[in-house]
Structures are given as structure tokens and as C-alpha cells.
């Protein structure tokens, strides 16, 4: 079979693959604990469900405009005003089938083959593949000081005449790191000076802990006109626990939004009418669900950190937001893939290998499950790896005997 260069070069989505494997094992009755997930377990807001059901019941579910229904664009404009203190026009907004599609069409609208896109490492698994889908080159940048916080100097060193865009995701998947206000200010200024697109992937911007406030990139922009190359990405997936609804959006200059709309129109058309009305209801509805999600995630983060800190050899940095913790397990195995496979195989705990995010030796552990998932999951991992733990472990009625250490 002959496949295209792109068809051959795109890797499987590690996180989606893991979900699939975990689901197959669960269907077989295996007691899997999923610490690899990237979605809150709370229910979608009731307002969203009622709105979606209302449209379904009407029986009139039609195509929508390629850039989203006016009501959703209006809700996004209000959201942008509330959280970014910025007034934008409907022509500055596109609603897509998830933030993923919003990023993808933005990249397709700006990238030529061989151009480069820089992003800090570790990075969200899809950035590399999305850039490659455009025939362009992903350029991950590691912080030279070994932290999860990139410095402008680290990024600056990788900028070439081919650099077309920089993607910043804070708080970050997979580390949970919340970049400093100074870094955001510097990167906005730097991209303006260099005339580079800056894609702010703000999908987790409200999911931050310890009283921190979301950082507004527009506060540092000098150019707020239609020549601005700042693209802000957001969506309902994470903050409203609406991952399956597939609604995200981008706010950018009109010319770019128009090009993105043309691409989206031929690719998928407008997002689902049903989930757009649900997204409108979530954005305009009572926001206490977001506050309570943050409280739950912060508590889960604290429990995860307690357990990991009691784990000799594991180095974990406290996440400032999101529902991920990116911990260094290299003392147990240098290969994160081998380690993750072994944990699923031996103790039925699903975690994502760090290498998928560009950093070997680490595992991404997710805190979006229950407290029981976290405590039991870490206990099983500890039992599997720590030679000082007892030789036997019970999972329900099942007795496991450790014969691999």
C-alpha cells in the first residue's frame, strides 16, 4: 500500500491510544486505574445538557456557518471581554470542533512547508504532529536550567529565518507549570518585535491553584490592531468538563480568521449544531462548576504530591494548574515507555510515558480521577517499583506476587 509522506510520518496519538488500551482491559473486567486521562470526571453543566437536548428535541439540527453560530461567537466575545478585558468583533472569532481543530486550522492558515514552529518542551503531544501535518518543522525548546519553565533566552537561540510561530501553553500539559507573568510579557514583546505569530494555547487558563489568577497576554501586547499576530486559543473541553462536545475557538486578526474559516469550511464545515448550543449555555451559564472543578483538582494535586513525595527516588514538581503531574521516574527505568507498559501490565495502572511529551524518564500522572484512583494508583505503582515494599499486593480479591524485582 502506498501512503503519502504525511500519512507515513504522523505518529499515533499516545494519549488516545492509551485510553483505548485501558478501555479494552476494563471491558475484559481488569481492575484498571487510569492515571493517564486528560479530562475531568465531573458532569457537563446542566445548562449545556438542557440546551443540547432542546435542539435535538426540535428535530431541526442543520449545518452551521463554517466559523460557528452567531450565538456562540457572541458568547466567545463576552468571554474574551470578561477574561481578557478585550473587545473583539465576530470577524475576530472562529469556533471549531475542539481547541485542537482551532490550533490545526490556525497552523494550516499560517505555515508553508519547511517553516518552523517553536514550543517549550515538554509539550502537548499533538503540537509536533500538527506542525508536521502542515509539512512544517516542529522545534521543541528545553529550558537549559532543567526546569519546566522556559526562558526567553532558550527560545531566542532557536529562532531562525524560518521561524513562523511560537506556541505557548500555560498552565502546561504535561507539567502543570504556570509560566510567570514576566515570561508571558517577554514572549509577547519578543514575537511582536520579530513579527512572529504567537499562539497562546489557553485551554487550561482557568484551571489554576493556590489563588493564582489567569494571565492575560493582551495586557502586554503593544499592537492590538488587525495586524496583530497574537492568536488566543480556548474551549469548553477542560474548564466545563465537556471534552466529548468538541467545541473550541480562536481569537485573532480578521484576515487570519477568514483564512481559517475557509480552511475549516472545506475540512469539516462548522462544528456540530448541538454542541455549539451546549457551549453557549456553558459559557453564559453559572460558573460555579469551574470553581468547584478547580477546588477538586487542587485537592487531588495535593494528595498526588503527598504520595509522590513519600516515594523515594521519584522527583515531582508541584503543578500550579491543570490536572497533570509530570514526575521523574528515571531512577526506576530510563525508558518511560518500558516503565509505563510494565505498570499497565503488572499492576493495571495507566500512565503516559514522558517521551511522548519530549522528555524521557518521566511519567505523566493525571489527577482528574477520584481521590481513590490517585491513592490506590500510586500505591500500586510504589508496590511495583519499590523493592522495600511487601512482596504481595491485593487488588480486590486478586493476590499479586512481585517476582520482577
Ligand X SMILES: Cc1ncc(COP(=O)(O)O)c(C=O)c1O
Site for ligand X in 280-319 (CB under 6 A): none
Nearer to ligand X, 127 or 332 (CB): 127
How far apart CA 315 and CA 362 sit, in angstroms, is 9
Q: What are phi and psi of 164, to 5 degrees?
A: -105, -30
State the residue number with the nearest CB to ligand X.
Answer: 98
CB of 38 to ligand X, least distance (A): 4
The C-alpha angle with vertex 396 and arms to 392 and 397, in degrees rounded to 5, equals 75
CB of 201 to ligand X, least distance (A): 5
Question: What's the grid cell of residue 327?
Answer: 514526575
Cβ proximity of 116 and 160 under 8 Å: yes
CA-CA-CA-CA torsion sign (60, 63, 65, 69): positive
Q: Kindly tell me which of 236 and 314 has the beta carbon lying closer to ligand X.
A: 236
| Total of residues contacting ligand X (CB under 6 A) | 13
> If binding is defined by CB under 6 A, does position 173 make contact with ligand X?
yes
DSSP string, 279-296: HHHHHHS-THHHHHHHHH
Tell me the closest approach of the beta carbon of residue 204 to ligand X, in angstroms.
7
Q: Using CB under 6 A, which of 122, 248, 270, 271 touches ligand X?
A: 248
Interaction mask 108-147, ligand X, x per CB under 6 A: ----------------x-----------------------
271 binds ligand X per the rule CB under 6 A: no
**Is residue 169 a contact residue for ligand X (CB under 6 A)?**
yes
Task: Please check whether residue 231 is in contact with residue 106, taking contact to mean a CB–CB distance below 8 angstroms.
Answer: yes
Q: Could you give the CA distance from residue 20 to residue 294 in angstroms, rounded to a whole number?
A: 27
Cell 504530591 maps to which residue?
305
Considering the rule CB under 6 A, would residue 38 count as an interface residue with ligand X? yes
- Residues 201-230 contacting ligand X, CB under 6 A: 201, 203
| 321 part of the interface to ligand X, by CB under 6 A | no
Beta strand extents in 32-115 (DSSP E only): 33-34, 93-96
Nearer to ligand X, 10 or 342 (CB): 10
Supply the minimum distance, in Å, between the C-beta of residue 167 and ligand X: 9
Please report whether residue 36 would count as binding ligand X according to CB under 6 A: no
Is residue 98 a contact residue for ligand X (CB under 6 A)? Answer: yes
* DSSP-derived secondary structure letter, 218: G
Rank residues 173 and 264 by Cβ distance to ligand X and give the closer one: 173
Q: How far apart are CA 292 and CA 207, in angstroms?
A: 10
CA-wise closest residue to 126 among 365, 356, 364, 361? 356
For the chain, the distance separating the N- and C-terminal CA atoms, rounded to the nearest angstrom, is: 44
Interacting span for ligand X (CB under 6 A) from 53-61, 97-105, 274-282, 306-314: 97-105
Distance CA 31, CA 212 (A): 37
| Least Cβ distance, residue 51 to ligand X (angstroms) | 18
List residues near ligand X by CB under 6 A: 38, 98-100, 124, 169, 173, 201, 203, 235, 237, 243, 248
Amino acid at each position: 500500500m502506498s501512503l503519502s509522506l504525511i500519512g507515513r510520518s504522523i505518529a499515533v496519538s499516545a494519549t488516545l491510544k492509551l485510553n483505548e488500551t485501558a478501555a479494552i482491559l476494563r471491558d475484559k473486567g481488569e481492575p484498571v486505574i487510569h492515571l493517564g486521562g486528560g479530562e475531568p470526571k465531573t458532569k457537563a453543566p446542566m445548562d449545556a445538557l438542557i440546551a443540547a437536548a432542546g435542539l435535538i428535541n426540535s428535530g431541526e439540527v442543520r449545518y452551521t456557518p463554517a466559523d460557528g453560530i452567531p450565538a456562540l461567537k457572541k458568547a466567545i466575545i463576552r468571554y474574551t471581554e470578561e477574561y481578557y478585558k478585550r473587545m473583539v468583533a465576530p470577524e475576530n472569532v472562529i469556533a471549531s470542533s475542539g481547541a485542537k481543530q482551532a490550533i490545526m486550522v490556525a497552523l494550516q492558515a499560517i505555515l508553508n512547508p519547511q517553516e518552523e514552529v517553536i514550543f517549550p518542551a515538554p509539550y502537548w503531544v499533538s503540537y509536533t504532529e500538527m506542525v508536521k501535518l502542515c509539512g512544517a518543522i516542529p522545534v521543541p525548546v528545553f529550558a537549559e536550567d532543567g526546569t519546566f519553565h522556559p526562558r526567553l533566552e532558550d527560545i531566542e537561540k532557536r529562532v531562525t529565518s524560518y521561524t513562523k510561530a511560537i506556541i505557548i501553553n500555560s498552565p502546561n500539559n504535561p507539567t502543570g507549570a504556570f509560566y510567570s507573568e514576566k515570561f508571558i510579557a517577554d514572549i509577547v514583546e519578543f514575537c511582536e518585535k520579530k513579527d512572529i505569530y504567537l499562539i497562546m494555547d489557553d485551554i487550561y487558563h482557568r484551571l489554576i491553584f493556590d489563588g493564582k489568577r489567569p494571565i492575560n497576554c493582551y495586557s502586554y501586547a503593544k499592537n492590538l490592531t488587525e495586524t496583530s499576530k497574537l492568536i488566543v486559543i480556548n474551549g469548553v473541553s477542560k474548564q466545563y468538563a465537556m471534552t466529548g462536545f468538541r467545541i473550541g475557538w480562536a481569537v485573532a486578526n480578521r484576515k487570519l480568521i477568514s483564512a481559517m474559516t475557509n480552511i475549516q469550511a472545506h475540512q469539516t464545515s462548522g462544528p456540530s449544531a448541538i454542541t455549539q448550543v451546549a457551549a453557549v449555555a456553558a459559557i453564559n451559564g453559572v460558573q460555579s462548576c469551574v470553581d468547584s472543578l478547580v477546588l477538586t483538582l487542587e485537592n487531588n494535586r495535593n494528595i498526588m504530591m503527598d504520595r509522590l513525595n513519600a516515594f523515594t527516588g521519584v522527583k515531582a514538581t508541584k503543578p500550579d494548574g491543570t490536572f497533570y503531574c509530570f514526575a521523574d521516574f528515571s531512577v526506576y527505568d530510563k525508558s518511560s515507555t518500558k516503565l509505563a507498559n510494565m505498570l499497565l501490565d503488572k499492576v493495571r495502572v495507566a500512565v503516559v510515558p514522558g517521551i511522548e511529551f519530549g522528555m524521557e524518564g518521566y511519567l505523566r500522572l493525571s489527577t482528574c480521577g477520584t481521590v481513590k484512583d490517585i491513592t490506590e494508583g500510586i500505591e500500586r505503582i510504589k508496590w511495583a517499583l519499590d523493592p522495600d515494599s511487601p512482596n504481595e499486593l491485593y487488588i480486590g480479591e486478586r493476590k499479586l506476587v512481585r517476582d520482577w524485582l
